[in-house]
Chain A
């Protein structure tokens, strides 16, 4: 199994630009999570999908952030317009939906907004 796949691994952009991060979950998993990790705030859950449906987006910082999951094997996290404070590492994780199931993380996308 290839594990969770994320792209790009690194993204450098200028303030105001649109950024799209991509994730392919582990085949067969029906839950997908987007996290953000920073020095100051640690790991924060942004949004959670179950069977491609967003269940909890309470962690999405503001309207500039949006996430979609058009099918079971693909999800995107979009930031428009991006700001320097969005600079962080963004992780995607997937799991089976069952209480307490282990989440498996991708390698992350390091985003730098200048």
Chain B
């Protein structure tokens, strides 16, 4: 699954290094954010989420950071593995229509062995 346009931002990292994927969101009223991972030929898979009353949340090898001041979200992956190669999407919840997720354009992560 590809994302918007012919050019998808790509991050290339060495196996074992840490990865940081960034996302800028647009709606200051958004109060819930999700990171999805999409591998080739598969649907987006939930990784981690964060609500606007937090600025950091940790999962297994992943950390999400939220900076509401500059409307910025990041996903940190520790000790990146070949299986982490995928397209990563951030999504924000539109509070005005609480069911609707607004997806970012995606970043492709390539892990070099």
* B59 close to A (CB within 8 Å): no
Chain B nearest CB, measured from A51 CB (Å): 12
> How many contacts A-B (CB < 8 Å)?
67
Interface residue count for B (Cβ, 8 Å)?
29
Q: Mark B47-75, 1 if CB is under 8 A from A, else 0.
A: 00101000000000000000000000000
When A31-B99, A42-B105, A89-B1 are in contact, do A102 and B42 touch as well, CB less than 8 Å? no
A102–B43 contact, CB under 8 A?
A: no
A107 and B38 CA atoms in complex are apart in Å by 10
* B25 close to A (CB within 8 Å): no
* A41 close to B (CB within 8 Å): yes
When A91-B43, A100-B31, A102-B49 are in contact, do A42 and B97 touch as well, CB less than 8 Å? no
Interface residue count for A (Cβ, 8 Å)?
30
Task: Name the B residues within 8 Å of A48 (CB-CB).
Answer: 99-100
What is the chain B residue whose CB lies nearest that of A106? B43
B42–A42 contact, CB under 8 A?
A: no
A105–B43 contact, CB under 8 A?
A: yes
* B2 close to A (CB within 8 Å): yes
* A103 close to B (CB within 8 Å): yes
Most interface-central of B4, B5, B31, B45 (chain A CB within 10 A): B4
* A25 close to B (CB within 8 Å): no
A99–B1 contact, CB under 8 A?
A: no
A99–B105 contact, CB under 8 A?
A: no
A102 and B49 CA atoms in complex are apart in Å by 8
Q: Which residues of B contact A (CB under 8 A)?
A: 1-6, 31-32, 34, 36, 41-46, 49, 51, 89, 93, 95, 97-101, 103, 105-106
20 contacts across the A-B interface (CB closer than 8 A) = A31-B99, A37-B1, A37-B2, A39-B2, A39-B6, A41-B4, A48-B99, A56-B99, A91-B43, A91-B44, A93-B43, A97-B99, A100-B32, A100-B93, A100-B98, A102-B34, A102-B46, A105-B44, A107-B42, A108-B43
Q: Which residues of A contact B (CB under 8 A)?
A: 4, 31, 33, 37-43, 45, 48, 50, 55-56, 89, 91, 93, 95, 97, 99-108
